[in-house]
Amino acid sequence: MQANANVVNAGAVISTGWIRWLFIGALVAGAFDISYATSISYFRSGIAPSRILQSVASGVLGPDSYQGGTATAALGLGLHFVIAFIITCVFFAAASRQPVLTAQPLVSGALYGAIAYAVMNYIVVPFSRIGPRATPATPVWVTGVLVHMFLIGVPIALAARRGFDR
């Protein structure tokens, strides 16, 4: 048996190779997402990347996050990747039970990315310490949805496909 390839559990062999792809999917999706968020905010409005990271931390800390400097920016970055990991875990859990999700990763990933966008922006953020926000300008909203579809959802689905290579 290869090291870290399989685990014997009560006489059954369970593949664990998907765990590596879970982390890869979360890291890629998280990196694309935060790169988009910091880039569009900087180039569109001149907002420093640290301010965007502090806004992520404000979901937990509220407005005080903007007074915390590098520490709250680092917290925001950490929280951002925790959220990316959770979003990836949800897709992997669904894909482990529904192979159709990995059979068509471009379609399932794009749909999942759109769902992730809606859940984050219309459920998670309003119920966080950030609270309800106004709908962003149309170009920001459109690019946000597209980024979630193709730079978050699709990489997660492709990682799941590799992880669950059936």
Write out pLDDT tens, residues 115-160.
Answer: 999 999 999 999 999 999 998 889 989 999 999 999 999 999 999 9
Mean pLDDT of 101-118: 98
CA distance 110 to 130: 27
Give the pLDDT confidence score for residue 12 in this predicted structure: 39
Give the pLDDT confidence score for residue 17 in this predicted structure: 84
- Per-residue pLDDT at 11 exceeds 80: no
In a domain, 128, yes or no: yes
- Per-residue pLDDT at 5 exceeds 70: no
Residues pairing with 14 in the sheet: 7
- Per-residue pLDDT at 1 exceeds 60: no
Measured between its terminal Cα atoms, the distance across the chain in Å is: 19
Q: Which residue has the tokens 């502090």?
A: 54
Q: pTM for the complete prediction?
A: 0.89
Q: Which domain holds residue 93?
A: 18-45+79-163
Over the stretch 25-49, which tens digit does the pLDDT of each residue have? 999 999 999 999 999 999 999 999 9
In a domain, 55, yes or no: no
Inter-CA distances, 43 with 53, 60, 103, 112, 152, Å: 16, 26, 37, 27, 21
The total domain count for the chain is 1
In a domain, 92, yes or no: yes
In a domain, 129, yes or no: yes
In a domain, 119, yes or no: yes
pLDDT-derived band at 166, boundaries 50, 70, 90 = low
By C-alpha distance, which of 163, 151, 142, 165 is closest to 106?
151
Per DSSP, 137 falls in state P
Angle at the Cα of 48 (from 57 to 143), degrees rounded to 5?
A: 80
Inter-CA distances, 102 with 1, 21, 38, 97, Å: 26, 13, 30, 10
In a domain, 104, yes or no: yes
Residues pairing with 71 in the sheet: none
Residues pairing with 6 in the sheet: 15
Give the pLDDT confidence score for residue 13 in this predicted structure: 43
pLDDT-derived band at 97, boundaries 50, 70, 90 = very high
